[in-house]
Amino acid sequence: MATRADLLKRISIDPRVCFGRPCIRGTRIWVSLIVENLAEGVSPEELQEAYPHLEPDDIRAAMAYAAEMTRERIIPIPVGASEG
């Protein structure tokens, strides 16, 4: 299995591609698109069907990148708020 460093090499950020949004290298598939789909319950297999250029390590790379971003930025979430 690829290391985290190897996975992160699959991510590219280029201001000339997709307005500089993080993408899977060599594609215009946004990291956020992959992460959002996974969060909504779309399986990795379904993502690969929808985007045939995606490899399993590309999906893992998107998750590794998302994990790195959570270390760098705090997103405020109300504490004690409950849905009812």
pLDDT tens digit sequence for 11-50: 999 989 999 899 999 999 999 999 999 999 999 999 999 9
Structural contact between residues 62 and 34, judged by C-beta atoms closer than 8 angstroms: yes
Mean per-residue pLDDT of the chain: 88
Structure tokens that stand for 48 in this block: 């690969």
* Those residues with Cβ within 8 angstroms of residue 49's Cβ, 6 or more apart along the chain or in another chain: none
- 83 or 76: whose pLDDT is higher? 76
Q: Largest alpha-carbon pair distance within the chain?
A: 45
Q: Where are the domains of the chain?
A: 4-72
Average pLDDT over residues 54-80: 83
**Which pLDDT score, from 0 to 100, does residue 71 have?**
80
Domain 4-72 has CATH 3.40.50.300: no
| This model's pTM is above 0.85 | no
CB 8 within 8 A of CB 68: yes
- 3: amino acid identity, one letter: T
